[in-house]
C-alpha cells in the first residue's frame, strides 16, 4: 500500500498538509504516516533532566497527533501511523523515506506569512533530486473546500 508521509510540527501549515495527505489516502486507498522529529538540542542537559524532557516531548507529540488521527479515522476512514524520530529534521525525514519503502509521496505544508515557504520546504526542495519519491507542497492558506475539490 502506498503511503503519504506528512510532517507533524507546530506550524500552521501542518494542518493543510495533514488534511491533504488524509484525503488523498482516502481517495486512493493509501495510508498515512505522520512523522514528528524531536530536535536533539532539546535534551542537552543532565541525563536525568534530558530523559524527562524527552518523555514530555513525546507525550506532547502524541497528544497533538491524536487530534489529527481522530479526524483522519472519523472523517476520512484512514488509520494513520505515528513515527517519532530524534535528530535533525531533514536528515530524519530522508531516513524515514529510506527506511519505509511503502512511502510514495512526501507531503509538506508551505508557510503563507510572506516569509517564504518555511525551513523544511526550503531545505527539502533543495534535496528533491536525492529523494526517491515526489514532494507535494500544500499552500498553508488553501481553504478546506479547495483541498476537498483537488483531492
Q: What is the pLDDT of residue 135?
A: 96
DSSP letter assigned to residue 132? S
Residues 6+ positions from 110 with CB-CB distance below 8 Å? 13, 117, 118, 121, 137, 138, 139, 140
- In the block, residue with C-alpha cell 523544511: 120
DSSP 37-105: EE-GGGG-S-HHHHHHHHHHHHHHHHHHHHHHHHHHHHHH----EEEEEES-HHHHHHHHHHH-TTEEE
Q: What is the pLDDT of residues 77-113, one digit of tens each?
A: 999 999 999 999 999 999 999 999 999 999 999 987 7
Pairing of strands 81-86, 103-110: unpaired
DSSP H/E element including 145: helix 144-150
Q: pTM of the entire structure? A: 0.91
pLDDT at 46 over 80: no
Band (pLDDT 50/70/90 cuts) for residue 41 is low
Q: What is the pLDDT of residue 40?
A: 80
pLDDT at 47 over 90: no
Cα(64)–Cα(75) distance, integer angstroms: 17
Residues 6+ positions from 98 with CB-CB distance below 8 Å? 132
Whats the size of the chain, residue-wise?
151
Mean pLDDT value across the chain: 91
Amino acid at each position: 500500500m502506498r503511503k503519504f508521509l506528512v510532517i507533524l510540527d507546530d506550524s500552521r501549515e501542518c494542518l493543510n498538509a495533514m488534511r491533504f495527505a488524509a484525503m488523498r489516502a482516502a481517495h486512493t486507498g493509501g495510508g498515512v504516516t505522520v512523522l514528528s522529529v524531536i530536535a536533539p538540542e532539546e535534551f542537552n542537559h543532565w541525563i536525568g533532566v534530558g530523559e524527562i524532557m524527552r518523555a514530555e516531548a513525546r507525550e506532547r507529540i502524541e497528544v497533538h497527533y491524536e487530534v489529527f488521527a481522530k479526524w483522519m479515522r472519523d472523517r476520512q476512514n484512514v488509520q494513520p501511523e505515528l513515527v517519532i524520530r530524534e535528530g535533525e529534521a531533514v536528515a530524519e525525514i530522508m531516513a524515514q523515506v529510506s527506511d519505509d519503502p511503502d512511502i510514495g509521496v512526501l507531503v509538506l505544508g508551505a508557510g503563507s506569512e510572506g516569509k517564504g515557504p518555511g525551513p523544511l520546504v526550503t531545505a527539502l526542495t533543495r534535496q528533491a533530486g536525492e529523494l526517491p519519491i515526489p514532494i507535494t507542497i500544500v499552500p498553508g492558506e488553501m481553504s478546506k473546500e479547495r483541498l476537498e475539490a483537488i483531492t
